[in-house]
Amino acid sequence: METERILITVRTYPNLSTKHIETVCTGGINDKGEWRRLYPVSFRLLDEGKQYRTFDVIKVKLGSNPDGRPESRKPDAATIEVIESVNGWDARRQWIEPTAVTSMKQLVGSGRTLAPVLVREVLEFVANPESPDWSAKQKELLRQQGLFEGPSPLEKLPFDFRLRWRDGDGDEHDSKFIAWEVGQAWRNYRHKYADPIGAMRQKWMEDLFGQRRDIWFFMGNFAEHRHRFGVCGTFTPPKEVQSSGSLFKS
């Protein structure tokens, strides 16, 4: 196993797993400018001191590739150590921009399965209603989780969040939006706003995806459907004014 320092840029909302109970797709960039997908990570079951945030730098021992995708590595969760946080948009740009591509066509053509893609325009923030309940099979997984000490059962999001957007080549895409931040926003906004989806749409479309920001989407493909990519996270620094701090805290 090799130890690497990785800037965490991608965390997805937790997903139920038959083998690992629940997992969070984690992605980031190491000191050599190489992308890493850390899988599996049962994030909510980690010790509190190991629960990294977006734009934290962690040190971790990585094993062999678990699924054949070039960026994937199996982390030794016991060795995760949060080293520092990279605060300030300029410092984050120095890690992220050299690894970016201009379009999905370029990403797929490169053979990579995880990378930041330049966004020319975000057209629509979509929230399609879904069942608020887990399936019978998923409920059985949750019952299994109850056999262990740990956090409360994972809450199912009652929406399929999606983004309609154009990449740097002008090609239009309709992508599943699975970033940690969108799930957490729903869980917070439903208690604060009479129309939480409307408030979320306004936050993303008018602020985070607004005209005063440069936008990249961290696009990653799905293990079971390698030809399909989702928005695993976003990078939206101001075009001119640079500031420090993270947009979200989990």
Q: Read off the pLDDT of residues 185-205 as tens digits, 9 standing for 90 and up.
A: 999 999 999 999 999 999 999
CA 179, chain centre distance (Å)? 4
Residue (of 2, 13, 178) closest to 73 by Cα position: 2
9-18, 143-152, 241-250: least confidently modelled range: 241-250
pLDDT of the residue at 19: 62
Q: Which amino acid is at 121?
A: E
pLDDT of the residue at 243: 44
Q: What is the CATH number of domain 2-86?
A: 2.40.50
Mean pLDDT value of segment 77-101 = 96
pLDDT of the residue at 38: 93
Whether pLDDT at 244 is above 80:
no
pLDDT of the residue at 21: 62
pLDDT of the residue at 222: 85
**pLDDT averaged over every residue in the chain:** 89
Residues 96, 9 contacting (CB under 8 angstroms): yes
Per-domain boundaries in the chain: 2-86, 90-235
Residue 110 burial by Cβ neighbours in a 10 Å radius (0-12, 13-18, 19+): exposed
- Block residue for tokens 């993303």: 204
Per-residue pLDDT band at 17 (split at 50, 70, 90): low
Whether pLDDT at 246 is above 50:
no
**H or E element at residue 192:** helix 180-192
pTM: 0.89
**Which one has a higher pLDDT value, 23 or 71?**
71
DSSP-assigned beta bridge partners for residue 58: 6, 82
pLDDT of the residue at 249: 39
pLDDT of the residue at 150: 54
